[in-house]
Amino acid sequence: MSIYNNYHGGALCTESRPQANLLVIFGASGDLTRRKLMPALYQLYRRGLLHEDSYIVGCARSALSQTQFLSGLRGFLSDEEPERLEHFLQRLSYLHLAYDNLSDYARLAHHIESIQAKVDSELNHLFYLATPASLYPVIVPMLHRSGLSVEDYSGKPWRHVVLEKPFGKDLESAEALDRMLHQSLQERQIYRIDHYLGKETVQNILMLRFANIIFEPIWNSSYIEHVQISTAESVGVERRAGYYDAAGQLRDMFQNHMLAMLSLVAMEPPAQFEAEALRDEQVKLIRAIRPLPIESIGQHLIRAQYGPGEIAGQALPGYLEEENVPAQSRTETYVAAKLFIDNWRWRGVPFYLRTGKRLSRKLSEIAITFKKPPHSIFAQLDIENLQRDVLVLNVQPDEGMSLSIQAKQPGPKLCIGHLNLEFSYAQQFGAQMPDAYERLLLDCMLGDQTLFIRSDAIAAAWKLLTPILQAWQRSDKQQLPGCSCALHHYQAGSEGPAAAEKLFTQWRSLNDC
């Protein structure tokens, strides 16, 4: 592993180059591989961050030839440098493989040995499961039985397995998945991807908090009034109805992306920027979230489903009208929650989380609203006239941040108004932002688990949310008449259900603490 430092425009940039890796992608004929993984790997290659002895093997059940496999990828890769692209494609190979056939894994092992024979260095192995989660209990044991994922006591060369969400559908299934994984793998070998953690602005939360003395001293209940974390999508379920209707927004977005961002915003400072120290603090934070009272769940959490609507004059179908969605589905497409963290730092501060599909625009942001000054020294201005300072971290589509403060406006002697201090990654650095998968794949090849989810964090999140899922299920079957578990509705293209807006305007309630 080599490290280079780059001083540019006053910035200290460090990046590690991985050793030689053999990356095996299961599900190589699928959309995730074509649209995300291969473009990210190609960009790493263009940046000089893919070792010259690294190779990529695609595996899938599709009976494709090598030529067909490469042809299916070309449309997703930049062809601005044809020679460089061809050189990258020479690193790729494809195997038709049945996931439950041990002899096919023997063929894969033989293919890997033939690649190893081409290079002088010993290759680390990275197995990426770009498959439905239902195949994890098939592929992971097969990798172990074939010896492909077995490490020696030193862990060098390493054998890592990368998993995409979902990591279970409730606490019981998550614990079963975890037991299955640890029958074949050690925790150090398991990389659970949440692609939101690879986004620049999400990573920047740590830099903003812990590299600037002006923020961390006021990052607590004495100065912060409330925090909002929002993830809105303008699209509907598209072609994912089969998966989505069995999952819903609480499982698909809230349990992983939303709680992961919350943990970074609210956790205590880790002792160092290192995987286990950082993930220890994330787990502590998730465990400190106050469980929601099921008997009054509607006062703390809203679920809703989109109906017909429109955006810019274009008619949009409701969720029940989407292809492959059951006519009587009760699956939620929107979730809003008011959470509290029971520790010294955040006592009494509400955290508002909302995420939904078919909303008016695509937006992901974290907004930290600070308290007003305790007293106004300006005789003509009541304290009620002063606005709150707000720090907004824009995660997507335009990554950056803004700080809204009170400042003197030109004109009269006493003229106070909002001033926005704004920063945009695109405007500041000019180049296209790297995709989150570039960061995460590079970290996988480096053996760095800092931005990956640990099993105890998953269990803590499911422990918080499983009672809610169970209450919804019982309520939908009319077995829990006392639960305020109503499924609300909102128009496609709107800002969401009215009940959620009411929830978000109640933050000053005396009952919040």
The set of catalytic residues is 257
How far is the first Cα of the chain from the last one, in angstroms, to the nearest whole number?
Answer: 50
Buried b (16+ CB within 10 A) or exposed e, 28-50: bbbebbbebbbbbbbbbbeeebb
How far lies 461's CA from each of 261, 296, 345, 354, in Å?
Answer: 12, 20, 20, 16
Q: How far apart (Å, rounded) are the C-alpha atoms in residues 49 and 52?
A: 9
Whether the Cβ atoms of residue 468 and residue 294 lie closer than 8 Å to each other: yes
Distance CA 12, CA 482 (A): 57
Radius of gyration (C-alpha) of the chain in whole angstroms: 25
Phi, psi of 263 (to 5 degrees): -65, -35
- Omega of the bond leading into 141 within 30 degrees of 0 (cis): no
Cα 353 to Cα 366: distance, rounded to the nearest angstrom: 9
Residue entry with tokens 């004929």: 29
**Nearest residue to 253 via CA among 41, 395, 448:** 395
By CB neighbour count within 10 A (0-12 exposed, 13-18 middle, 19+ buried), where does 4 fall? exposed
